[in-house]
C-alpha cells in the first residue's frame, strides 16, 4: 500500500515547541509536527505546513504559506494577523480564549489593592524604616469599571463584585446583562463610564477600533484620584499622553502590564514614576500555560481532522 503521508502537518513556532510536539505525538500519531521555535526554521518549513501554532502570525511569510489552512494562536489576541486578514479568508483562525481569565483577574485584583493602599509607598517607607500609619477607605466603597466585557473582562467584573465593589462596564452588545455588572454601557459611551470609576480596567481586544482608545481626552474624563489598569494591549493607550497625565497627576496612577513597545524602553519615564506599577506582560501567564493551550489545541486537531467546527474560532471581521 502506498504511503499517503501524514494526515496533517503542523508547524510549531513557539518556545515550548518540543512539549507541544510530544503532546501531539501521544494523542495524534498520524499527525506530523515540525519544531520551528526560531525564525530560520519557521521560514524554512512554513511552506510545508497545513497548520501553524504560534503566539503571533508571521505576516512577513504569508506568501510562502501556500498550504496553510489553520492558525492556532497561543494567545487570546490575534491582532498580529490583522495586516493580512483581507487576504487570509481561507485560513481558519482559533485562539486561546478562556484560559486567561482567572489568572489575569488575580493580577488585576492584586493591582487594585496595591494601588489603593499605595503599597509602593509602604515598601519605600519600610526600606527607610519609617513608621507612618494612615487611614484607607474599604475597597467595597469603590467603583471599578471594566472596558471590554469578553471572557476576561467578565471574570474581572465578577471578582470585583465579590469584593463588594460597585462594578460598571462597557461592551458592544448591551442587550444581555453581564453577571456582576451593576451598570452596563455601550462601547461608544466611555465618556459616561470613565467619570464614575475609581479604577478603570482595560480588557478590550486589539482591533482597528480599539487602537488609541484611551488618550488625552479620555484620561481627562477620569477622576484625578482614579487609577488605570491595562491588561489589554499597549496600543490601546496613547502612551505619551498617559505619561503626561501621570506626570501632571491628572490621574492618580496606573498599573501597566502591556506597552506600545515591548520590552519597555530603558529610557521610558514609566520605570521611575512613583505612581506606576509596570510589569513585563505577565498577567496572563499561568505556570501550566502550555497544557492549558493544548486543552484547546488538542481538541481542535481532532476537529480539523474530522472537518468539524473548531473551538475558539475567531471572527476576523471583528478581530476577536
Catalytic residue ranges: 233, 262, 281
Closest CA to 269 of 237, 236, 240: 240
Rounded Cα–Cα distance for residues 236 and 220 (Å) = 16
Question: What separation in angstroms does the CA of 184 have from each of 44, 175, 314?
Answer: 49, 9, 24
Residue with cell 486537531: 301
Closest CA to 249 of 232, 224, 282, 274: 224
Range list of H helices, 7-100: 17-27, 39-45
DSSP 87-149: G-TTSEEE--TTSSHHHHHHHHHHHHHHHHHTHHHHHHHHHTT---------GGG-EEEEE--
SS3 184: strand
Contact 170, 187 (CB under 8 A): yes
Closest CA to 52 of 30, 67, 40: 67
Rounded Cα–Cα distance for residues 231 and 242 (Å) = 15
Amino acid at each position: 500500500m502506498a504511503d499517503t503521508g501524514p494526515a496533517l502537518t503542523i508547524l510549531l513556532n513557539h518556545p515550548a515547541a518540543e512539549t507541544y510536539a510530544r503532546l501531539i505525538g501521544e494523542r495524534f500519531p498520524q499527525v506530523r509536527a515540525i519544531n520551528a521555535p526560531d525564525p530560520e526554521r519557521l521560514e524554512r518549513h512554513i511552506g510545508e505546513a497545513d497548520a501553524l501554532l504560534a503566539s503571533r502570525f508571521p505576516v512577513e511569510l504569508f506568501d510562502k504559506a501556500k498550504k496553510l489552512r489553520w492558525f492556532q494562536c497561543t494567545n487570546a489576541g490575534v491582532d498580529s494577523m490583522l495586516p493580512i486578514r483581507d487576504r487570509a479568508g481561507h485560513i481558519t483562525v482559533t485562539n486561546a480564549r478562556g484560559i486567561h481569565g482567572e489568572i489575569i483577574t488575580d493580577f488585576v485584583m492584586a493591582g487594585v489593592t496595591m494601588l489603593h493602599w499605595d503599597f509602593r509607598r509602604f515598601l519605600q517607607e519600610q526600606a527607610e524604616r519609617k513608621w507612618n500609619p494612615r487611614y484607607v477607605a474599604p475597597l467595597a466603597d469603590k467603583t471599578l469599571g471594566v472596558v471590554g466585557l469578553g471572557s476576561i473582562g467578565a471574570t474581572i467584573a465578577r471578582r470585583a463584585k465579590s469584593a463588594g465593589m460597585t462594578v460598571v462596564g462597557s461592551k458592544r452588545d448591551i442587550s444581555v446583562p453581564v453577571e456582576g455588572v451593576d451598570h452596563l454601557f455601550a462601547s461608544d459611551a466611555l465618556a459616561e463610564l470613565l467619570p464614575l470609576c475609581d479604577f478603570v480596567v482595560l480588557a478590550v481586544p486589539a482591533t482597528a477600533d480599539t487602537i488609541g482608545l484611551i488618550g488625552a481626552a479620555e484620561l481627562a474624563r477620569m477622576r484625578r484620584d482614579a487609577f488605570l489598569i491595562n491588561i489589554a494591549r499597549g496600543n490601546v493607550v496613547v502612551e505619551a499622553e498617559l505619561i503626561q497625565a501621570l506626570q501632571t497627576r491628572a490621574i492618580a496612577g496606573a498599573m501597566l502590564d502591556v506597552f506600545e513597545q515591548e520590552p519597555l524602553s530603558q529610557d521610558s519615564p514609566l520605570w521611575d514614576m512613583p505612581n506606576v506599577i509596570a510589569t513585563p506582560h505577565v498577567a496572563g501567564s499561568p505556570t501550566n500555560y502550555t497544557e492549558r493551550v493544548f486543552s484547546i489545541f488538542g481538541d481542535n486537531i481532532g476537529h480539523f481532522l474530522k472537518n468539524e467546527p473548531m473551538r475558539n474560532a475567531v471572527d476576523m471581521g471583528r478581530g476577536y
